[in-house]
Chain A
Amino acid sequence: MFGLDKRDTTLLLIVTVLTMFAPFILNPFPTDSGLAQFNAGYPDLMQRFVIFGIFAIGFNILFGLTGYLSFGHAAFLGVGSYSAVWMFKLLSMNVIPAILLSVIIAGLFALVIGYVSLRRSGIYFSILTLAFAQMSFSLAYSVLTPVTNGETGLQLALDDPRILGASATADGSIPVTSLFGLEMRSTYSMAVGPWDFQFNVGYYLCALVLIAAFYVAIRIFRSPFGMMLRAVKSNQQRMNYTGLNSKPYTLAAFVISGMYAGLAGGLMASMDPLAGAERMQWTASGEVVLMTILGGAGTLIGPVLGAGFIKYFENIFSKINDNVLHGWFSFLPDGIEDFLVFVIHPFIGKGWHLTLGILFMLVVIYLPGGLVEGGQRVVGWLSRRKSAQSRQSETNPAE
């Protein structure tokens, strides 16, 4: 289907089903139960899952295929966000022009940075991109304050000169982002028994964009261009000796992945019209590297899984506090309850970094291929068991 072979079609369909039914899949526990703490099916987090999924897919096109480790990808995300917010301020609250502009600006930005950085490879390339990103962060944080609004972040105001559309709504508030009148923040809640499922317009827009982005990534992976990028990864020197100039290929990959980051930034600003400088900080660039490695670098679905994993920890684990723990263990005797809370305390709330760090180490040590390798091992183990069973069933009658 769509020029994909059977395996890739299945993969695309899995991603489609997962994103379309995410409000159900991510809300497995009834709202009133103690486990509702672990539900992730609310609009903001679902949007973050898919937006960072897009970001990580784009990063993987560069890192997974060419092996060039960029440590400054957050800069493109930030640039995309700023362009989108400016579009909302100046042109219209429709998300389409904002997202288009953010992709274009991020692409141009990536072209400039890539042109300079790609003169070097390996660690020098990483350091160069890191330096550029940190430079963009400093510029956004203080020097370019008239454009970026510095530390406070760029926000919409009541007196924005919006060319298409009003500066303020009739009741005196700032208009909301929309797609031809369809408000991004509008949410339908569906109550089924004790469950509460939320369907958010913004999320479904992001999800459709994710599916499109995923499809494009598959096509790039399977194209001759993708093959060329893999060749760069396996041995660039040998490629150069054959008389082939690999730089246009790597630069194209860099710009494409920068545009993906810009797309993610534009979507982020469309869901929540604010752009802050921290989005460009080196920790944000490091985060996407972690996502890709955690999920499985060079695989198609890995980065999406990694993005979901990290965002889940950041948003769900950081919100568990001692009171919640006491609630869970209240059925135990006091001494044991306090002891359990004491033991778990360092790993929850402000300790979510610690838990994530431990899991990241475990994954890197035992599953170098990331979560995707974990999944493959489970499937392999299951199918081996199945084939062993079927062999048994074949041999049994013979006895």
Chain B
Amino acid sequence: MSKTDVSRRGLLRTGAVAGAGLALPTIFTAQSASAFTNEPTGSTVTLGFNVPQTGPYADEGADELRAFELAVEHLNGVGDGGMLSTFSSKALGGDGVLGKEVKFVTGDTQTKSDAARASAKSMIEKDGAIMISGGSSSGVAVAVQGLCQEAGVIFMAGLTHSNDTTGKDKKANGFRHFFNAYMSAAALAPVLKNLYGSDRKAYHLTADYTWGWTQEESIRAATEAMGWETVNTVLTPLAATDFSSYIAPVMNSGADVLVLNHYGGNMVNSLTNAVQFGLKEKQVNGKNFEIVVPLYSRLMAKGAGENVKGILGSTNWHWSLQDEGSKTFVRSFGTKYGFPPSQAAHTCYVQTLLYADAVARAGSFNPCAVAEALEGFEFDGMGNGKTLYRAEDHQCFKDVLVVRGKENPTSEFDLLEVVEVTPREQVEYAPDHPMFAGGQLGSCNPGA
């Protein structure tokens, strides 16, 4: 028996020595060859699209994925080219990026930070992705952004609305095109004042997590500045599906506006409950009772059905916009998939083009060169008017849409109408605004 043991050990030892011997020469060659993580050397370049395919935001994720596929087609010169023709920068020619054909890999974030990071890591380590994009919740966006910073690739955030993504948790390798909670509040407040007056009493129901808090903080600050009074703010658990017990106290609170700082399924349920309680027909203090939903999306409006009629909110983009960029995008998306894109699809499509354009302008895939090309970049023709990628926090500044649930929808997609396009100047803020303070971009990390 001892004899077999020795030979087994000997075998192991020989194997280990042989392995180490084989590995040794490559230590010096394989690593030092590339200047940055996943430098594309062949005729293709790989992008990683990390979206929720299962879980509560799977609808948004599916729409984001469609937009990514469309963007890759347009970059490679397939199809009608979409927004490439309206985009103010003309660095892209529809022949891939820097002459390399664009390939992509997809993954499922499950709307969980861990799963999202695992999926992004496999894209970086296994598939050689040079850029990661996507995500449909701020928690995931912040987690993946941190990962990309460590790994040395660029992160182009998808749908993430929390102030923290480009505030407290901003990173040098991360960029956000989507608007944020502060901008929602700044855009909504003047419209609310015009429509509902400056003497209102507001009651807030807020989803009890980071995004909910920043949303409530932002909208409270904006409405109180114009004279509204905040009667009460109540936190609701994220997993709640029945909000009746939270709506009942609103009726006797003396408030005449209910603000629902909810998103996704939460918003669908809380709004439905509020309407069932007859809040929309109620009269308080001699005024009509009003409901406000700061962050709207078409997919949520669809979920809430009839109940969204006449309810105000804000959104990043809507397919009914009549500028050339939006019209072109809606046309190519509609031709391929048969229905108009959502705001999540729009922001993901634009982010992909912006990344490719920055690479083309920088003449390199090096994340630091790309980041430099994106910082302070001013562009137009992407559906939101003149837009600036601010260098200080990597946040896009552009017009914000205030929308209202349509009274007489003509189709299942025609659920929201644009009330006002709030100009960019009104939603701008200083990079060191207290709601965004506490984080540092750090320096760009090219990895390797």
Contact = CB atoms under 8 A, between A and B. Distances in A.
Interface of A: 1, 6, 9, 13, 16-17, 20-21, 39, 42-45, 48, 138, 141-142, 145, 149-153, 155-159, 168, 171-174, 176, 185, 187-192, 198-199, 272, 274, 276, 278-279, 314-315, 318-319, 321, 323, 349-350, 352-353
A188 B26 contact: yes
B336 interface: no
A276 B143 contact: yes
B118 A48 contact: yes
Contacts of A188: 23, 26-27, 30-31
B53 A349 contact: yes
Given A188-B23, A314-B115, A318-B107, 19 more contacts: A16-B12, A42-B126, A44-B122, A145-B210, A150-B210, A151-B137, A151-B211, A152-B169, A173-B442, A174-B150, A188-B26, A188-B30, A190-B22, A191-B26, A199-B23, A274-B114, A276-B114, A319-B106, A350-B54
A353 B54 contact: yes
B440 A17 contact: no
B208 interface: yes
A98 to B, nearest CB: 17
B22 A155 contact: no
22 contacts: A1-B5, A9-B5, A42-B126, A45-B118, A142-B238, A150-B209, A151-B209, A152-B169, A153-B139, A174-B149, A188-B23, A274-B117, A274-B143, A274-B146, A274-B147, A276-B113, A315-B118, A318-B53, A319-B119, A349-B108, A350-B53, A350-B58
Contacts of B282: none
Most chain-B Cβ atoms within 10 A of its Cβ — which of A168, A185, A272?
A272
Interface in B392-409: none
A191 B30 contact: yes
Interface in B90-116: 104-108, 112-115
Contact of A278 (B1, B113, B442): B113
A199 to B, nearest CB: 6
Contacts of B1: 6
A399 B425 CA distance: 101
B147 A272 contact: yes
B41 to A, nearest CB: 12
Given A152-B142, A190-B26, A272-B147, A278 B237 contact: no
B164 interface: yes
A13 B26 contact: no
A276 B107 CA distance: 19
Given A152-B169, A189-B31, A158 B53 contact: no
A395 to B, nearest CB: 31
Interface of B: 1, 5, 8, 12, 15-16, 19, 22-23, 26-27, 30-31, 53-54, 58, 104-108, 112-115, 117-119, 121-123, 125-126, 137-139, 142-143, 146-147, 149-150, 162, 164, 169, 208-211, 235, 237-238, 439-440, 442-443, 445
A319 B169 contact: no
B208 A142 contact: yes
Nearest to A1: B5
A321 B51 CA distance: 13
Contacts of B53: 318, 349-350
B117 A272 contact: yes
A328 B379 CA distance: 40
A199 B440 CA distance: 33
A319 B110 CA distance: 12
B315 to A, nearest CB: 22
Nearest to B108: A318
A125 to B, nearest CB: 24
Contacts of B439: 157
Contacts of B121: 44, 272
Contacts of A48: 118
Nearest to A27: B126
Given A142-B238, A272-B117, A278-B112, A151 B30 contact: no
Nearest to A185: B150
B263 to A, nearest CB: 12
Given A142-B238, A152-B142, A158 B113 contact: no
Nearest to B139: A151
A278 B442 CA distance: 27
A323 B23 CA distance: 35
Contacts of A185: 150
Given A151-B209, A173-B445, A350-B53, A319 B139 contact: no
Contacts of B112: 276, 278
B331 to A, nearest CB: 23
A315 B122 contact: yes
Given A42-B125, A272-B147, A350-B108, A153 B142 contact: yes
A34 to B, nearest CB: 13
A179 to B, nearest CB: 17
Given A319-B106, A319-B119, A39 B142 contact: no
Nearest to A158: B440
A174 B440 contact: no
Contacts of A350: 53-54, 58, 108
A17 B8 CA distance: 11
Contacts of A353: 54
A276 B440 contact: no
Contacts of B235: 142
A189 B123 CA distance: 16
Nearest to B111: A278
A189 B26 contact: yes
Contact of A198 (B106, B125, B147, B440): B125
A150 B117 CA distance: 17
B12 A17 contact: yes
A182 B271 CA distance: 54
B22 A39 contact: no
Contacts of B150: 174, 176, 185
B252 to A, nearest CB: 26
A105 B210 CA distance: 26
Nearest to A48: B118
Contact of A138 (B30, B54, B237): B237
Given A153-B139, A198-B125, A350-B53, A319 B105 contact: yes
B392 to A, nearest CB: 15
Contacts of B5: 1, 9
Contacts of A17: 12
A48 B114 CA distance: 11
A168 B142 contact: no
Contacts of B113: 152-153, 274, 276, 278
Contact of A321 (B23, B27, B106, B137): B106
B34 to A, nearest CB: 10
Most chain-A Cβ atoms within 10 A of its Cβ — which of B8, B122, B142?
B122
A164 B169 CA distance: 24
